[in-house]
Amino acid sequence: MNNDTLRIGGRSLASRFFIGTGLFPNPFVQKEAIKASGAEVLTFAIRRVNLDAVEDDSILQHIEDDAFQYLPNTSGASTAEEAVRIARLARASGLSDWIKVEISADAKTLLPDPIETLRATEMLVKEGFTVLPYISDDPVICRRLEEAGAAAIMPGAAPIGTGLGILNPYNLGLIVEEAGVPVIVDAGLGTASDVTKAMELGVDGVLMNTPVAKAKDPVMMACAMKHAIEAGRLAYLSGRIARKKYASASSGLEEFILK
């Protein structure tokens, strides 16, 4: 497993866990959960500073280790142009040229708008960003995003924050089969078994926020998810047995003593 690294945008990652930084009960728990997750990629959002409470402050003051790869998102954007504007602001931080394109079509489902996402990906690739679009689990749009130059594609398992797990394993399997860039399942996972299942389908990694941050014990859940990723990855690489309809004994019956 030591040389089973994930490469995205010229960077090698030992961990296949991308962790979000929203919704944690407090900065201390967040920091411990990130540590327990082993994640190297951290996602953020870009928002206006609250001028009435500036001491309330940036998330970055709570993140000490600059070995992390920052993956800011374009959440809040509803068009490609808005996403590009947010991406440029994020890059101006000097912290990262990675960008998670996230363009929601509506507030109820937060499902990604595939047309705007493709347009934004095309524009941002031209501007030299390392683009990781969050997108529906549709193999065709995933292929189009790859052709547009996405460094990885990030299909959702289910809508953001729902914890419903993988709604369409068939589609995810097809996406994995066809993709020439890493596939990161982003959004909708609920618990460790969902994660293992995703990894067993052959995806290259998972991005999670809510299922860790909103668990009763976020630090323990981060640890569980880390193990789930490793278990699923190892099972995928090992090659599972074929499913059979009927039993086959583990010891054989030819030398059975009672015959």
Question: Applying CB under 8 A, which residues contact another protein?
Answer: 20-24, 30, 43-49, 51, 54-55, 57-61, 70, 72-73, 75, 88-90, 92-93, 95, 160, 187, 207-210
CB of 57 to another protein, least distance (A): 7
Please measure the distance between the N-terminal and C-terminal CA atoms of the chain and give it in whole angstroms. Answer: 46
DSSP state of 60: G
CB of 104 to another protein, least distance (A): 12
User: 33 or 174, CB closer to another protein?
Assistant: 33
Q: For the sheet with 184-186, list strands across it.
A: 17-20, 205-208, 184-186
CB of 14 to another protein, least distance (A): 21
Q: Which two tokens stand for residue 80?
A: 């490609």
One of 100, 126, 226, 244 is an active-site residue; which one? Answer: 100
Whether 205 contacts 233, CB under 8 Å: no
Q: Which two tokens stand for residue 218?
A: 């976020």
Residue 154 has phi, psi (to 5 degrees) of -125, 80
Spatial CA neighbour of 77 closest among 37, 154, 16, 134: 134
CB of 239 to another protein, least distance (A): 32
The radius of gyration computed from the CA coordinates of the chain, to the nearest angstrom, equals 20
User: 60 or 105, CB closer to another protein?
Assistant: 60
Q: Where does 92-207 have alpha helices with state H?
A: 114-126, 139-147, 169-178, 192-200
Tokens 């411990």 -> residue: 32
Active site residue 100: yes
User: 5 or 58, CB closer to another protein?
Assistant: 58
User: 48 or 259, CB closer to another protein?
Assistant: 48
Active-site amino acid positions: 100
